[in-house]
Chain A
């Protein structure tokens, strides 16, 4: 049976990305983010619809990455996703960018023909926080039966200080293989010797295609998975709280 069309939006990283699953095809578009991306996102979506030759009315669900990432770009994607879902009264599912990266890392790991064996390697997802030397970090333990890398062992996002300790071994001190993935890996002050870095240069934190694959693998849009029901932005960090000197004099 043909699966209903699903749109995926990923703007938490430095790219503005959208992907559309229509029938057996998965189409995607990406371009650099930055100024004006909140408008260009819609041009990408229109291009995808045109290429897939489907109407916006046929979209059956919207998947979106909810961060952490760039605050402003993240909001542009989330606001667009909410708007589309509300307008068409269709399901909206939002995955954290940690989960998206863990899924992408697992895809890369499996596609490289690697076998985890009994080692249960640990994955550190390290995401660019736009703050030098201070990326967002989450840790995952390997589970061969999980669609992500495995269960997250921490998702505090701000605790890169314990990475070295976490990477150096399990709780008994035995060495375990350690993998790093994400667009913030280069921001880490120290990468352990036994670490391996999974590379995906064109989408270093997971792409909108990964998001689409993740959503479909978990039965979206017929089913909204538990870990995708929180559709609020995941900021990790509190806002800077300096009031503006002059809010909006024209």
Chain B
């Protein structure tokens, strides 16, 4: 990960050993449209003592996340969430917050509250990369999971395949060249009049498509083209590791807008759109897995995180892909796929754990910049 800032961080005189491993980390997540808090105990294995989340439903009528509404809701939600999470618990030894990437209004609100808590408790403040938190979350679910592993990160704002080698070492194999899959699902659901958030709405509606025979299924799938990335990295076999969903979205829009309303089979289109998106993701994950295996010779499972990873069709396709590569797909619990604060606390805990006994306890201080864009890999264009 690129360094947080050129600022000299506050260095706490206490070493990591002085804090012991039995510490509590409070975390705040507010990068998009979920306000969340969590309290994590770092030993013997990371254990979530409490967590609370308030999804923002106010965006529904707009069919997408409205930044100013999101920021207002974060501020309105946080005091109660913090009160619930801290009730009856000892004082935490560190405070963490997602400091990017994300919507700047939410980042400022969450980080300001977190920094105030750190100041009041005179504890370190840890700025967590939201993508790193997603990428590390499988180790919260399965503490025995070893680095490195391959992860598909697919959500409303992100889409990439990552080799995760350490708490702060990520290599991106592929990424979306335009829309994130969750964003594409939102837009498709809006076109089909299915509500918001689009992913779950589309998945539910797609399930109502009941073909009577395989040909009907093939015909439905043929309603929309296979989304192909225009350019991107190659794994050496000519395989494209990137993703693209904007063409698929445009194809759906044309199909809907150029057809008489009565003739639009929304269930078939929902099925086709979801199938195209999920097949594309699974194909990209498979290619990335092949490359990861060549590079690392690691016998590790395939993993997926992010809100789109909660899609059951994607889980089924990723299982098939993993089997083809002699691997296993481990589906993350849905609550860890979507944005949450437990993963933020866990990422902070991973950083603490990786810190040597004699080293100063990590602390990003109060003036580290918040980053609406914060790529995981140093070589990426921010």
A contact set with B: CB distance below 8 Å:
36, 38-43, 45-46, 56, 71-72, 75-84, 86-88, 231-233, 235, 239-244, 246-250
How many angstroms between the C-alpha atoms of A46 and B122 in the bound complex? 11
Interface residues as binary, B72-107 with A (CB distance below 8 Å gives 1, 0 otherwise): 100110110011001000000000000001111100
Closest A-chain residue to B10, C-beta based?
A46
For A75, the chain B residues whose CB sits under 8 A away are 71-72, 75, 105, 108-109, 112
Are the CB atoms of A88 and B69 closer together than 8 Å? no
Interface residues as binary, B343-382 with A (CB distance below 8 Å gives 1, 0 otherwise): 0000000000000000000000111111011111000101
At the interface, yes or no: B223 with Cβ under 8 Å from chain A?
no
Are the CB atoms of A45 and B119 closer together than 8 Å? yes
How many angstroms between the C-alpha atoms of A56 and B116 in the bound complex? 11
Are the CB atoms of B119 and A241 closer together than 8 Å? no
Are the CB atoms of A86 and B83 closer together than 8 Å? yes
Closest A-chain residue to B382, C-beta based?
A250
Given known contacts A242-B66, A247-B103, A76 and B119 CB-to-CB distance under 8 angstroms? no
Given known contacts A75-B108, A248-B103, A83 and B117 CB-to-CB distance under 8 angstroms? yes
Are the CB atoms of B66 and A243 closer together than 8 Å? yes
Contact of B32 among A38, A82, A247 (CB under 8 A): A247
Known contacts A72-B104, A80-B112, A250-B131, then 11 further A-B pairs from the complex at CB < 8 Å, ordered by chain A residue? A38-B108, A38-B112, A41-B112, A56-B122, A71-B72, A75-B71, A75-B75, A83-B117, A87-B119, A249-B157, A249-B180
At the interface, yes or no: B113 with Cβ under 8 Å from chain A?
yes
Pairs of residues from A and B, 9 with the lowest C-beta to C-beta distance, nearest first? A83-B116, A243-B64, A87-B120, A239-B68, A79-B112, A39-B367, A248-B157, A42-B366, A83-B113
At the interface, yes or no: B111 with Cβ under 8 Å from chain A?
yes
Are the CB atoms of B183 and A247 closer together than 8 Å? yes
Are the CB atoms of B72 and A233 closer together than 8 Å? yes
B contact set with A: CB distance below 8 Å:
31-32, 59, 62-69, 71-72, 75-76, 78-79, 82-83, 86, 101-105, 108-117, 119-122, 131, 156-158, 176, 179-180, 183, 365-370, 372-376, 380, 382
For B375, the chain A residues whose CB sits under 8 A away are 250
Most buried by B among A39, A231, A233: A39
Most buried by A among B78, B101, B116, B369: B116
How many angstroms between the C-alpha atoms of A72 and B71 in the bound complex? 8
Are the CB atoms of B71 and A71 closer together than 8 Å? yes
Shortest distance between the CB of A53 and any CB in chain B (Å): 16
Shortest distance between the CB of B67 and any CB in chain A (Å): 6
For A233, the chain B residues whose CB sits under 8 A away are 72, 75-76
How many angstroms between the C-alpha atoms of A233 and B76 in the bound complex? 8
Are the CB atoms of A247 and B157 closer together than 8 Å? yes
How many angstroms between the C-alpha atoms of A38 and B366 in the bound complex? 8
Most buried by B among A42, A81, A87, A244: A87
Are the CB atoms of A72 and B105 closer together than 8 Å? yes
For A87, the chain B residues whose CB sits under 8 A away are 116-117, 119-121
For A241, the chain B residues whose CB sits under 8 A away are 62, 66, 68-69
Are the CB atoms of A84 and B108 closer together than 8 Å? no
How many angstroms between the C-alpha atoms of A36 and B370 in the bound complex? 8
For A248, the chain B residues whose CB sits under 8 A away are 31-32, 101-103, 157-158, 372-373
Are the CB atoms of B64 and A84 closer together than 8 Å? no
How many angstroms between the C-alpha atoms of A40 and B370 in the bound complex? 12
